[in-house]
Amino acid sequence: MNASIFPASLLTIVPALHFEQVSFEHRDHRLLAPTTLTLSGCQRTLIMGPNGAGKSLLMRLAHGLLSPSSGNIHWQGKPPAQAMVFQRPVLLRRSAIDNLTYALAVSGVPRRQRKNIALQALEKFGLVALAKRPARVLSGGEQQRLALARAWLLNPAVLFLDEPTAALDPAAIKAVEDAVNEFHHNGTRIIMTTHDLHQAHRLADEVVFMYGGQVLEHTPAHRFFDTPASTQAGAFLRGELVW
């Protein structure tokens, strides 16, 4: 990829994200207990925990898709450019390349430049041959790669990924993980949820472990995997059922 098109990612210093006593309730159900957390540096943070622990919720709050019931969430300084990749990619009912030019149009790229940039992104993610195909008839792996290509175009300083490989086969999982690392090498901060331990081993610089709507641990990855502090995390790592 021609770096001159995306110079900003190499220069940005990703601002820290602060959660201060953030809680979230839905219909009198507390889904996130008051949480104070700072995500800083340009690392790959993996949010882990069993289903229903609040991983996706934490990420949606961080990305601003949901507002907290109490407490506040703020970036140090100006909020950085962000993108999010969902477990089930949401693609528009248009061709693959039109999905990309749409994202460029939304972010204000002049019309004449859109097609070139989109083609380069398709090339980067191995999708050039599928450019004209309707996005929604692509395979699951191709759709997720297209979603990653779309995120790439937005040149985010922070990339959120919500279980991006949950429904994919091993080859497609590898493609997604390679893409995540590519983003990271380009200076993008990664915040990703997973419940796949092996994936966490492969990708994590630091881990946020959640359980029952609470953040129980926020530690460097090696410490989390070697000596988890909480009994729940220990059980989770041993593959036991945690309740």
Partner 1 sequence: MTASDNPFYTALTLILGMDSALIAIVMLSLKVSLIAVLTASLLALPLGAALALWRFPGRNALIVLLNALMGLPPVVAGLCVYLLLSRAGPLGQFGLLFTPTAMVIAQTILVFPIIAALTRQQVETLHNEYAEQLRSLGLNQLRMMPTLLWDARFGLLTVILAGFGRASAEVGAVMIVGGNIDGVTRVMTTSIVLETSKGNLPLALGLGIVLLSLVTLINALAHMVSETAKRRLG
Q: Which residues bind partner 1 (CB under 8 A)?
A: 60, 63, 65, 82-84, 86, 90, 92-95, 102-103, 106-107, 133-137, 154
Alpha carbons 195 and 204: distance in angstroms, whole number:
12
Q: Please, what's the b/e burial string for 76-112 (b: 16 or more CB within 10 A of its CB; e: otherwise)?
A: eeeebbbbbbeeebebeeebbbbbbbbbbeeeebeee
Q: Smallest distance from the beta carbon of 85 to partner 1, in angstroms?
A: 9
Q: Smallest distance from the beta carbon of 241 to partner 1, in angstroms?
A: 30
Beta bridge partners of 190: 44, 159
Q: Smallest distance from the beta carbon of 136 to partner 1, in angstroms?
A: 5
Q: Smallest distance from the beta carbon of 133 to partner 1, in angstroms?
A: 8
Query: With respect to partner 1, which residue has the nearer C-beta, 134 or 212?
Result: 134
Alpha carbons 186 and 81: distance in angstroms, whole number:
14
Dig out the tokens for 86 from the structure.
Answer: 């969902």
Alpha carbons 98 and 45: distance in angstroms, whole number:
31
Cβ–Cβ < 8 Å for 98, 106: no
Query: With respect to partner 1, which residue has the nearer C-beta, 60 or 184?
Result: 60
- Burial of residue 10, with CB atoms counted within 10 A of its CB: 0-12 exposed, 13-18 middle, 19 or more buried: exposed
Q: Smallest distance from the beta carbon of 222 to partner 1, in angstroms?
A: 31
Query: With respect to partner 1, which residue has the nearer C-beta, 10 or 92?
Result: 92
Query: With respect to partner 1, which residue has the nearer C-beta, 99 or 120?
Result: 99
Q: Smallest distance from the beta carbon of 127 to partner 1, in angstroms?
A: 15
Q: Smallest distance from the beta carbon of 80 to partner 1, in angstroms?
A: 13
Query: With respect to partner 1, which residue has the nearer C-beta, 138 or 203?
Result: 138
Query: With respect to partner 1, which residue has the nearer C-beta, 29 or 132?
Result: 132
Query: With respect to partner 1, which residue has the nearer C-beta, 88 or 195?
Result: 88
Cβ–Cβ < 8 Å for 206, 43: yes
Dig out the tokens for 136 from the structure.
Answer: 């929604």
164 contact partners, CB below 8 Å, separation of at least 6: 85, 86, 87, 144, 147, 148, 176, 180, 192
Dig out the tokens for 148 from the structure.
Answer: 């990653």
